[in-house]
Amino acid sequence: MEYVYAALLLHKLDKEVNEANLSSVVKASGAEVNEAQVKSLVAALADVNIDDAVKAAPVAVAAAAPAADTAAAGDEAKEEKKEEPKNEEAAMEGLSSLFG
């Protein structure tokens, strides 16, 4: 994944996405450079218009937004769960009155 980020960074800075530049960015990040992955990514990106690919990316980002909403809902659910034991106790008392 660090190779893709490095390629995006190079593109954003209007630098050429080539093996030397990609290796330099990955190395500067502190990761170990795998030359085979660098060559593979450079070859894969040769026919890709990165601007078009980035413009298509918001579809994936929009899919992540409901996950954030779900996390917020999860926090609310935790608060509700704290209140539930009182309701459960009341329900159990009601059930016990049915059975004597």
Domain range for 85: 58-100
C-alpha 68/C-alpha 66 separation (Å) is 5
User: Do 8 and 52 lie in a common domain?
Assistant: yes
Residues 52 and 6 in one domain: yes
Residue by residue, pLDDT tens for the chain (100 residues) are 889 999 999 999 999 999 999 999 999 999 999 999 999 999 998 888 888 888 887 765 455 556 666 666 665 655 555 555 566 666 666 656 666 5
* Three-state secondary-structure class, residue 18: coil
What distance, in Å, lies between the first and last C-alpha atoms of the chain? 64
SS (H, E, C) 52-90: HHHHHCHHHHHHHHHHHHHHHHHHHHHHHHHHHHHHHHH
Tally of domains in the chain: 2
Same domain, 88 and 64: yes
- Tell whether 44 and 67 lie within a shared domain: no
Q: Model confidence over 21-48: pLDDT tens digits?
A: 999 999 999 999 999 999 999 999 888 8
- Confidence (pTM): 0.55
Is 50:6 a contact under the CB 8 Å cutoff? Answer: no
Q: Residue 50 is encoded by which pair of tokens?
A: 């990165």
| Domain CATH code at residue 17 | 1.10.10.1410
